[in-house]
Chains A and B, each alone.
Chain A
Amino acid sequence: GQQVMQIPQYQHVQEGEDFTTYCNSSTTLSNIQWYKQRPGGHPVFLIQLVKSGEVKKQKRLTFQFGEAKKNSSLHITATQTTDVGTYFCARGSFKTIFGAGTRLFVKA
């Protein structure tokens, strides 16, 4: 129904390598949000995408919203140990539904 699917579930990278997580929906999304949760912490909002084909950047993070508004991705360039945590995509800004998340491990 309204679920968003995230892949991969886990990703181990060497520091300096790139990382990408993908979010997919079977239905058209009005918006997609991304949150980061550090180990032992709480989710923190990163960004919201609304427009078809939208691309936004935050330093080394690049967020994309698909043309059909059914998928999204988060790409991190040259990962650092501070990037460790779980990245969630979420649909909707009311009764927000979260994906299962992608847990990123970074080896120094």
Chain B
Amino acid sequence: NAGVTQTPKFRILKIGQSMTLQCTQDMNHNYMYWYRQDPGMGLKLIYYSVGAGITDKGEVPNGYNVSRSTTEDFPLRLELAAPSQTSVYFCASSYSPQATNEKLFFGSGTQLSVL
């Protein structure tokens, strides 16, 4: 099991450019999440999905879009990159929040700089 895999690991964008951060998991988890982590800060929830075809906004969704066409994949799209989106992005997954001792499994992150 690879767990949660994110690509790319690093990326530099110019203001106004677009890109997609890829996330895939091989644990057959229903729930997937995108978080961003600014330097020295905690994680803020951007979007989440409870299953294929179902997505919803988290705490900080502005400037981002997501889709969930399969159980495995949950890409995050930045349409018009802005300096405020410079951050480390983490994808995470879990089987079911109702399960005992349920926990989040995180990918290794994507470090994004918008200049």
Q: Give the A-binding residues of B (Cβ under 8 A).
A: 31, 33, 35, 40-45, 48, 58-59, 90, 94, 97, 101-109
B45 contacts which chain A residues (CB < 8 A)?
Answer: 95-97
> Are A95 and B58 in touch, CB under 8 angstroms?
yes
In the bound complex, how far is the Cα of B58 from the Cα of A99, in angstroms? 15
13 chain-A/chain-B pairs, Cβ below 8 angstroms? A33-B103, A35-B104, A41-B108, A42-B90, A42-B108, A43-B43, A45-B104, A93-B97, A93-B102, A97-B45, A98-B35, A98-B44, A100-B42
Question: With A43-B90, A95-B48, A98-B42 in contact, is A48–B107 under 8 Å at CB?
Answer: no
In the bound complex, how far is the Cα of B104 from the Cα of A44, in angstroms? 8
> Are B102 and A48 in touch, CB under 8 angstroms?
yes
Q: Give the B-binding residues of A (Cβ under 8 A).
A: 6, 33, 35, 41-45, 48, 88, 92-101, 103
Contact of A93 among B59, B94, B108 (CB under 8 A): B94
The chain B residue with its CB closest to the CB of A97 is B45
> Are B31 and A94 in touch, CB under 8 angstroms?
yes
> Are A99 and B106 in touch, CB under 8 angstroms?
no
B107 contacts which chain A residues (CB < 8 A)?
Answer: 42
Question: With A88-B43, A101-B42 in contact, is A94–B106 under 8 Å at CB?
Answer: no
Q: How far is the CB of B110 from chain A (nearest CB, A)?
A: 11
Contact of A42 among B58, B94, B106 (CB under 8 A): B106
A100 contacts which chain B residues (CB < 8 A)?
Answer: 41-42
